[in-house]
Structure 1
Amino acid sequence: MEQLRSFIRKEFYHIFRDPRTMLILFGIPIAQLLIFGTVIKNEINDVHIAIYDQAKDETSQKIINKILSSGYFILDKNLENTKDIDAIFRKGKVKEVIVFESDFGEKLTREGQANVQLIADASDPNMARLAISYTSGIINDYVKKLYPNLKFPLQIEPEVRMYFNEEMQSAYMFVPGVMALILMLISAMMTSISITREKELGTMEVLLVSPLRPVQIIVGKVLPYLLLSIVIAGIIILIGHWIFRVPIAGSFILLMLESVLFIFMALCLGILISTIAKNQMTAMFISMIGLMLPTIILSGFIFPIQNMPVVLQVLSHIMPARYFVTIVRAIMLKGVGFFFIWKETMILIAMTLFFIALSVKKFKKRLE
């Protein structure tokens, strides 16, 4: 029995002395709890909206002021006609447009009923539902407080329309996000493990003493995975289109070119991880924990970035998947061209060049 107690004590000492084990046991669960606790929210913050007020009367102005003073919405633009709605949604910043009918206040007081149209960008269904729900609630609350003792029912009836996703299909949100997640994990993880495997098996020494330069070795490692990942990207897009009925409203060629750029960026990131990791286990750990969770949480794949704390919103800017998800949704659902996604594309190109330069710099000609 004493031997068993000594053995158990020894195992505790071994666990407490190993920083990696302590990180897995305590660090990661605490970090996940804190991150998910701050990210998963049912409220919205600072959603950009546009307003087309045809009435421009006292009642519509009071409702607009109440909506903007709620803290949930930010007025991006006052529209002059309904023709601007499509263009402003395609730019991606505005998530909801509120349209007041002409003679809004007069109809409300005379007939006891008036109409307001709520149009949301449903390429992100979760955000669209929340925006419509909050706006409807604010409008109804205004009516109740304005006429608390009114006997007959005074109503403002919101007419809801969902842009780019009329039926609110969740697949429209998940397919682009899952595509980014799969390509990131396959490309980065497999590439990082490939080189660290060479280190563990000792075959890296053969490569290091060969006439090949570091750039040539990196290209040789990346190219096979690049070609295979392109095939996988095509399969994901076709499955999403034919099985889940996600439309490809824009150019399929542009979509594939953007996918190739993202894959190449992920492969370069995988090469960088392999230059840091000393074995396959470390490379897999960095890839899974360092890439999978941030891709799910900080890319806008599931949780709207606008709802997150400011710190996480800032961190999301260094997540490549954030820009790729935006690009895929814009091309597939909104049918936009390169002019609308050039900023996100330039950011991915800059990240790719940065990872390439850092990988070549860290790649050493001899094993330590």
Structure 2
Amino acid sequence: MKRFIGFIKKEFYHIFRDKRSLFILFGMPIAQIMLFGFAITNEINNVDIAILNNSKDATTEEIINKLNSSSYFSIKEFIQNENEIEAIFKKGHVKAVLNFEADFSKKLSTKNNANVQIITDATDPNTANTISNYVSAILQNYTQTINKNVTITYQIIPKTRMVYNQELKSVFMFVPGVMTIILMLVSAMMTSISITREKELGTMEILLVSPLKPFQVIVGKVVPYIFLSIVNAIIIIILSIFVFNMPVQGSLFLLGIESILFIITSLSLGILISTVSVTQQTAMMISLMGLMLPVILLSGFIFPITSMPLPLQIISNIIPAKWFIIIVKGIMLKGVGFTFIWKETLILVGMTLFFIVLSTKKYKIRLE
């Protein structure tokens, strides 16, 4: 046992002497969480728009002022005719044009309706759709204001209440996903590189003929990265809470246990990658290309899984990150307990055991 503990200490010393490994372990997670949290967002702020006001009456001016006073839009330019719309879009100066029809106020008072055409630059479909929804919401709010003293015989008034994310902050969606990506990539990549480095340098055989058993060598290699990944998880959670005001409605203890389970799952996957890799470069490529794209595309981090074709929905079930994201969102945003996430937890446990068993068999074949 003393030899095993000494081997683990040696691995810690080796990691701390390697400045590049320390940068990857602690620098990359902090940089990624900050970039995703601040730079990537579904929200819009101060989007430049143009106005084509064919009416130029008090009502249209009031609506324009209402749009301009919001934090969502900034009126970049007033154009004079429809021929200028295409030109202004091609310049890339604005993301939307609002076209008020002629006699807007008169039609609103006599016919009880008037038209506003919302023309958006759909080269970015998500942004275009968001702009359209925001403008429609402002126009609807204005309509309700001017009709507050008008009684309509029959009316259906939808009242929307957003639960778990009332302000629709996109950071609440990105933080669990980024946490998953970081723990998956760092854990799997660093473990696979650590073991393949020994193979590449020819020192793995020396370790395996030492008094330590092969299983102890592998575990000794993995234990430091479990500890360091736990530190990463703590840093990410602290940044999420104190920098991005991410709520943790559920148990921090349960979140920690589930994070450790996912870390072990990722590390066991890294061991499996190391069994099929001879060089560090191969292990790095498999870790980055084989894990990053599936984690981002098929885990539900950015794109809803239910919107994907059925074959991709089926394939997503073998992505560990999918189940961990469900767990993290459930604990942090919904405040659920273990009774609501036991199935996802059981799936991660099963994947971990599968990776470990498969890796052990691979190592036996390789070490004969």
When normalised by structure 1's length, the TM-score is 0.58
Equivalent positions of 1:197-212 (< 5 A) are: 197-212=197-212
Q: Which residue of 2 aligns with 1:341?
A: 341
* In structure 1, C-alpha distance between the alignment counterparts of 2:160 and 2:366, rounded to whole Å: 64
SS at match of 1:278: coil
Alignment pair present for 1:278 and 2:278: yes
Q: How far 1:218 sits from its partner (Å)? A: 1.4
User: What does the per-residue CA deviation read over 1:10-66, in whole Å, with 9 as the maximum and x for residues that have no partner?
Assistant: xxxxxxxxxxxxxxxxxxxxxxxxxxxxxxxxxxxxxxxxxxxxxxxxxxxxxxxxx
Size of the alignment, in residue pairs?
A: 226
Match of 1:229 in 2: 229
Aligned-residue offset at 1:156:
3.2
Gap runs ≥5 in structure 2 = 1-125, 137-151
Identical residues among aligned pairs (%)? 64
Query: Contact conserved, 1:262 with 1:348, CA < 8 A, in 2?
Result: yes
Q: For 2:192 and 2:303, locate their aligned partners in 1 and report how far apart those are by CA, in whole Å.
A: 28
Q: Secondary structure at the match of 2:333?
A: helix
Q: 1:204 to 1:330 in 2, by over 3 A?
A: same
Q: Which amino acid aligns with 2:282?
A: T
* Mapping for residues 212-361 of structure 1, pairs under 5 Å: 212-361=212-361
Whole-Å separation in 1 of the counterparts to 2:239 and 2:258? 18
Q: Does 2:179 match 1:168?
A: no
CA distance in 1, matches of 2:155, 2:359: 63
In the TM superposition, residue 210 of structure 1 has moved relative to its aligned partner by 2.0
Deviation at 1:212, TM superposition (A): 2.5
Tell me if structure 2 keeps the 8 A contact 1:214–1:365.
no
Residues 69-128 of structure 1: per-residue CA shift (max 9 Å, x gap): xxxxxxxxxxxxxxxxxxxxxxxxxxxxxxxxxxxxxxxxxxxxxxxxxxxxxxxxx9xx
**Following the alignment from structure 2 to structure 1, what is the Cα–Cα distance between the partners of residues 200 and 223?**
22
> What is residue 69 of structure 2 aligned with on the other side?
none
For 2:303 and 2:260, the matched residues in 1 are separated by 25
State the Cα distance separating 1:365 from its structure 2 match.
7.2
Q: What is the rounded CA distance, in whole Å, between the counterparts of 2:292 and 2:347 in structure 1?
A: 20
CA drift at 1:321: 0.3
Segments of structure 1 that go 5 or more residues without pairing to the other structure are 1-125, 137-151
Post-superposition shift, 1:153? 10
Q: 1:203 to 1:178 in 2, by over 3 A?
A: same
Local SS of the residue matching 1:326: helix
Aligned to 2:187: 187
Give the match's secondary structure for 2:272. helix
* Distance across 2 between alignment mates of 1:212 and 1:314: 42
**TM-fit CA distance, 1:366:** 5.9
State which structure, 1 or 2, has the greater radius of gyration over its C-alpha atoms.
2
Any idea what SS the aligned residue of 1:250 has?
coil
Instruction: Mark the CA change 1:367 to 1:338 in structure 2 (over 3 Å): closer, same or farther.
Output: closer
**CA distance in structure 2 between the partners assigned to 1:248 and 1:337 by the alignment:** 12
Structure 2 counterpart of 1:311, which letter?
P
Change (3 A) 1:153 1:214: farther
Equivalent position amino acid for 1:362 in 2: K
TM-score by length of 2: 0.58
